[in-house]
Structure 1
């Protein structure tokens, strides 16, 4: 790996003031970590050899093709996405992987439904003391489309339910002791700060599901005053775009709750009107929320809403599914699934500061040509083994991640192998290799026995395991691994940690990138990628999956784990 030489030179420079013996010893340890050294009894020699054969230049080549302007941002249903799909197919064919989509092909069709609110035909009003106050779309409120019907009407009293979280297993329930059947619930965005990061992220995202489960017929969400990024004004352009969901064989849109006849978000100042005649003021409710106290009470105000939705079918995304059959006569019928999203945002409005003035192509180099490229190189390492792992390996390049994890959710819900035979998932999305990879954040490892494979792989590669430096970003909920968690399948999602090896702050680099480049045309190949760091990601992906595929037992959720309890079944992912 010739690209490692520069990092070795930098390492030498650090030790010029250290006595020679210590200097040489430290350098040798540094080199060992860079090329990957582990105890031979933990990782078989063939796997060690394969891991060391990683090619940084191959990762770069894959990314340069997938992020090229001619692919026009790889939007699902576009010619650019088709070119990307053909490229990925060709790579798997060349490696000797077998097609494992539908009808003997690499493709799995993902039927999608588009829903767009017709703003001019929609309305919302508050009713209090017999007086009706009409609100202004885009200023006071924004509506979500109704996937169940094109025209939806509702008029009902509003009940405030704190964060709108029901998590008795975490000792918290805003719905305790309150009957919201036939009513509209209103709640703050977010979840109690006392929740662990991943559980907090899930609870923040599950408000519609929880409201529907408790019999509510509508949902209003609003931000705390301190949560500027969640305000309706800040999110209006994004929240007014069309929404997509995948449909089942009966044509029903999934991950939707048609019984919620209105789903609205309100601005901060508008929200205060709701509390005018409530038992508590907005400020009292805010303080209770900040103190993580469950709360619920009638607001003594009603809401009348009309949502007009334009629905359309016909767009079909496609996942690319490839198989490396396992070598064990029994375990080959179980599967370790790798996933990375192939899609991006296509062509949009130019963003000031793009490397090319007027550039409107959202190339998605880091998001997520990088993840696809790294998984392709990990697939090559598997193909280079003299003998396949005991379990079978599936690589899936999914569509519609940017639309809401649609391709991965479709595959995890409708896999091309028996669902109960999928033992684990490894996801890669925006791993962040803009500095040397010295530590990693393995999202999900704390929830299952996959932690052991992660630790062994990290030791081989020579990286430390770190805690999530940006828990407020809710990363655990934001990529395709969570589609598998929903199906009770243990999953791992690895991103770079914050250690850079120099005076740069890795967390600041990450947050700055998200603030200035994420989802803009600037996410192209004109970025300072560290290809050696990308190669280490390949080694990690390969080794974690390899060790999982070789193990005598399949991964299991930790006893009493929040996600294992919520989504795991009594028979899924148990040792055999």
Structure 2
């Protein structure tokens, strides 16, 4: 009797044990800890609206924004445009600033009217006016050059550096034509010539250097300021000193012939340095892990180099409406996801990049979030139609390698460089992981030819996917 009862007991309970075992296994399948790879949230990278991204580039590079130079109406309109976009897609407004704007004081270099360099005959009539940015580039960024005023004087051809000396009183009141062999092989030759002239007891009215440093067929517009100690930029409204310009070979030959023929040269400049209030535009997606205080900055510079005052402006489609539009699209896509990142993601459109990285420098010195655990991906000139590698640039070896590996996975041709002069640099300078993604297509940047035709939508979409892939792997 006892054996039969035990048999029935085990038979009945074996069924119960089997059921419990199956349930346990089912529960185990749903509650077992996932691997880090399995825990990675998946972003819908196929939902990139590249058509709208291209439309934003077209708009920012249009005549309405007039080249977006810091300190101009076009730049202010750009700030408003990005600010309204961040508000529309629902980015948080960071604590401590109003309307997504981080405002700061910046000195800006403005071209008030078209420069003029022209040959005059013995009667004072203009016989040849040279083309601004096609024949020559005006140097207004060097300390002690004249940036406001004009001069008319005889020309003296200088073929040797030693010819610039205090013994030669004939230099007084003249315009010096510095031949190419004087500065051959010296990348800072123009600056060195200026310093030599400034040491003279005589007053030299102008310096024309035969230096053809055009990008492509046209001289670029340069608005960089000196960076001095703790200041964001310093400029000099000089009405004394020589007027200075760089001339390409053919135009310089015309000048030397005119000098030998006894003609004079007329030079006129009308630049100014002004103190303006500039704005970085900042929007945020807060992270869920408040204790770690880890932040990821996705950045691009919104400014460009403005109007040439000769009926043309510099659209800056590739440099850098492309990067600005890309971070705007990335922000839109992340906000459209229902997933909250663990890291706080900060989107910054920096101002003043073209005038010595002023906006990013200001942010590093006045960060709205702790910098200690910050990583920065900066987009500058992305999506060039030229088939060139993507440069992953900056002094952050680990971040560079991570992005390079993702680029390789996505089939993006890329290379790593330590030396990129963009908005990652102020972060690198304080030891942070910061990298710039850039297509180094410099053929048309800082000229009137940098239009939407220079941007390829597929290559731009690939860069957006690269950034999203990094965000997916590290921020969620």
- TM-score computed with the length of structure 1 as normaliser: 0.51
Relative to 1, partners in 2 of residues 1:343 and 1:320: Cα closer, same or farther, differing over 3 Å? same
Matches within 5 A, 1:240-319: 244=225, 253-254=231-232, 313-319=274-280
Q: How does 1:502-521 map to 2 (within 5 A)?
A: 510=441, 514-515=442-443, 517-521=444-448
Displacement, 1:328? 0.7
Query: In the alignment, which of 72, 75, 78 is matched to residue 72 of structure 2?
Result: 78
Matches of 1:345 and 1:320 in 2, distance apart? 18
1:466 paired with 2:415, answer: yes
- What's the CA shift for 1:74? 1.6
2:61 and 2:447 mapped to 1: Cα distance? 13
Q: Does 1:347 align with 2:304?
A: no
> In structure 2, the residue corresponding to 1:85 is in which secondary structure?
helix
Could you tell me how far 1:408 is from its partner in structure 2?
Answer: 1.7
Measured in 2, the distance between the counterparts of 1:105 and 1:411 equals: 16
SS in structure 2 of the partner of residue 319 of structure 1: strand
Q: What does residue 64 of structure 1 align with?
A: 58
**SS of 1:321 mapped into structure 2:** strand
5 Å-filtered alignment, 1:477-556, equals 477-496=420-439, 510=441, 514-515=442-443, 517-525=444-452, 527=453, 529-549=455-475
1:146 paired residue number: none
Q: Aligned partners of 1:385, 1:329: CA distance in 2, in Å?
A: 20
Structure 1 residues 59-117: Cα deviation after superposition (integer angstroms, max 9, x where no partner): 11211221222222222232222222122112212222112275333111231225764
| Alignment partners' CA distance in 1, 2:471 and 2:195 | 41
Distance in structure 1 (CA, Å) of the matches to 2:314 and 2:278? 18
SS of corresponding position for 2:362: helix
Aligned counterpart in structure 1 of residue 337 of structure 2, from 385, 388, 399: 385
Whether the 8 Å CA contact 1:101–1:320 is kept in 2: the answer is no
Partner residue, 2:126: none
Asked if the contact 1:363/1:521 (under 8 Å) is kept, the reply is yes
2:382 counterpart of 1:431: yes
Q: Secondary structure at the match of 2:368?
A: coil
Equivalence for 1:7: none
Inter-partner Cα distance in structure 2 for 1:523 and 1:266: 23
Q: 1: distance between equivalents of 2:408 and 2:282?
A: 30
Distance 2:63 2:468 in 1: 30
2:108/2:355 contact within 8 Å kept: no
After the TM superposition, which residues 217-232 of structure 1 pair with which residues of structure 2 at under 5 Å, given as runs?
none
Secondary structure at 1:520 match in 2: coil
CA contact (8 A) 1:341 1:372 kept: yes
Deviation at 1:243, TM superposition (A): 5.6
Q: TM-score, normalised by structure 2?
A: 0.61
The Cα RMSD (Å) is: 4.5
Deviations 1:32-64 (A, max 9, x none): xxxxxxxx96586633x3223222112112112
User: What is the CA distance between 1:440 and its match in structure 2?
Assistant: 2.9
2:146–2:243: 8 Å Cα contact kept in structure 1?
Answer: no
Picking from 332, 338, 351, the partner of 2:298 is 338
Residue 325 of structure 1 aligns with which residue?
286
Does the Cα contact within 8 Å between 2:407 and 2:414 map onto a contact in 1?
Answer: yes
**CA contact under 8 A between 1:111 and 1:246: conserved in structure 2?**
no
Instruction: Give yes or no for contact 1:127–1:133 (8 Å, CA) kept in 2.
Output: no
Cα displacement (A) at 1:312: 5.3
Measured after TM superposition, the shift of residue 441 of structure 1 is 2.5
Residue 490 of structure 1: how far off its partner (Å): 1.9
Q: In the alignment, is the contact (CA less than 8 A) between 1:245 and 1:253 conserved in 2?
A: no
Please tell me whether residue 100 in structure 1 is matched to residue 94 in structure 2. yes
User: Could you tell me whether the CA contact under 8 Å between 1:424 and 1:489 is conserved in 2?
Assistant: yes
Cα 1:266–1:538, aligned 2, differ >3 Å: closer, same or farther?
closer
Separation in structure 2 between the aligned mates of residue 487 and residue 137 of structure 1, nearest angstrom: 44
Preserved contact between residue 76 and residue 317 of structure 1 (Cα < 8 Å): yes
Whole-angstrom CA distance in 2 between matches of 1:387 and 1:76:
36
1:501 — aligned with what?
A: none
Structure with higher Rg: it is 2
User: 1:113 aligns to what SS in structure 2?
Assistant: strand
CA contact (8 A) 2:296 2:375 kept: yes
In the comparison of the two structures, how many residue pairs are matched?
A: 352
* Gapped regions of structure 1 (runs ≥ 5): 1-39, 142-186, 191-203, 209-217, 222-230, 269-309, 351-358, 469-474, 498-509, 551-576
**For 2:349, what is the secondary structure of its paired residue?**
strand
Unaligned runs of 5+ in 2: 1-34, 110-139, 152-161, 180-184, 198-208, 248-270
CA–CA separation in structure 1 for the residues paired with 2:273 and 2:76:
22
